[in-house]
Structure 1
Amino acid sequence: MALSLAVRAFELLLGFSLALQCIEYLRIPALDRVNDWAILRKEIPERPRGVRALLDVLLTARNYRVLIVLRLALAIGLMSGGLGLAGSLLLFAIALVLLLRWRGAFNGGSDFMTLVGLTGLLIAHLVGTFKGMDFGWRAGLWYITLQSLTSYFMSGWVKLLHASWRSGRALPQFLDTGIYGPLAPDSAYRKPWLARGISWTFTVWEGLFPLALLDVRLAALFCAVASVFHFLVFRHFGLNRFFWAWMTTYPAILWCAGQSLG
């Protein structure tokens, strides 16, 4: 994959992922008081001094909405390919403010991977300012790739350490928490042999994901399986953010795998 194509695909996917998150953030106030900063601010420590006061200004209902609309505009700018260093810095800073607001993460791993994408974007523009954008994007894409591969590797090998995943017992327990309620008593996923087979398949696949760097065709296969996996997670648990957050990293993985051939 050419560097320019990888960059353009990354920008489009990250921009879309951010825009989707912004729309969700804008809808939350009408759905749940979890959005109320007066409640959340109590968990922000008073030190270092000034942090809580700054957040009180940024995260009033009106200013918070302005912040999210600004993030949405920057996401659209990223998709258009017109975002530079200043825009990248703003997106990164807003992400940090949102992490503080939601006490670390609003949506777990997807927020982490979104921050990985934004960090890679910032690295590309910072390095590119001094070394040229080609070099900057190489650095940014390699950062994103290593973070994404590590996330899969750790997920797979953590499962391997737990007897409940090795035996398959964890799978139906996990699926019981889906948005459609517990699995039916006669669900195929409750069959020990099937649950064990699926558990081992995903455990090995995640644990071996770093091998994607050996060949671009292997990377394409790993990313294709990952896309199906994340779509199924979205379908069963409603975690649409996870699907797009990890999809954002695949252009970087494919490009880096192509570079490793040379």
Structure 2
Amino acid sequence: MLERFLNTLQALRIGVAGDSLALVQASRGFQPRRSLLAEARLDPADGAAALGNGLRRLLAGMPAAGRPVAVVLADELARTWQVTPPQGAGRMADLEAAAALRFQALFGAPATGWQISADWDADRPFLAAALPAPLLATLRQSAAEHRFHLVEVVPQFVASLNGWRKLRRPNAWFAQVEGAVLTLAVFERGALAAVRTAVIPPAAGRAWLDAHIAREALLTGAAAPSLVQVCGAGGHGLARAWVGAPGAGFDCMLLDGEADAAASPAWPGAARLAATGRGA
């Protein structure tokens, strides 16, 4: 009984990038901490077996049995989008059909081979995410092999939204910076209006951010925000420059905290993935 309780206080998180994996221990309690336990590269020569073989190397000798494990995927391995429910939708099948149609419209192909999950809502736009079915099958097989409890598999942007939910301000736009990619959650009257992704130019200053936010407001039809909250250890240098510079029309706030210090930009990308969402 005590061992099971301690396991829940020290959950494991796996970050899955396109070329690497990382295992992070997330300790809960009065002083939550993140510790990088292991890393593994994915060998392209392994082909379809690369992820499974990488997970075996990552977890070799690790005390994973009986532990809850959350997996955070690099956003490029998943698909994330916003769905507007059809007028008069009253059945789950209506919402699922709307998500599938929107997936095909955005990504140019049916969602065959993808598993879609969402914050299903018949009354307001909602966030949907699709994960590759073969990737999910490999993760479930790894859970069976190593006897851990696979409790969550999410793209990084979803992990960020969920992890910082207690600190997100009403109607503020939410931004994640990872490397040179900015992903925005546009909110209008408390509801998700759009999810937008853009490449950040080198040395982009506050003027670039001001122009980008204004452009996205026009494109989405949403009111320009009074506040943009930014997270992402990979972009803290940029974000701090945005916060410290005078802007036009909105404030910029960096979501940061004591727990973030454990996941600095010096951590490899897969480890930063695993640590995403720690602001909750």
Q: How high is the TM-score relative to the length of structure 1?
A: 0.29
| Larger fraction in helix | 1
| Larger fraction in strand | 2
Q: How high is the TM-score relative to the length of structure 2?
A: 0.27
Q: Which has the higher contact order (CA 8 A, sep 6+)?
A: 1
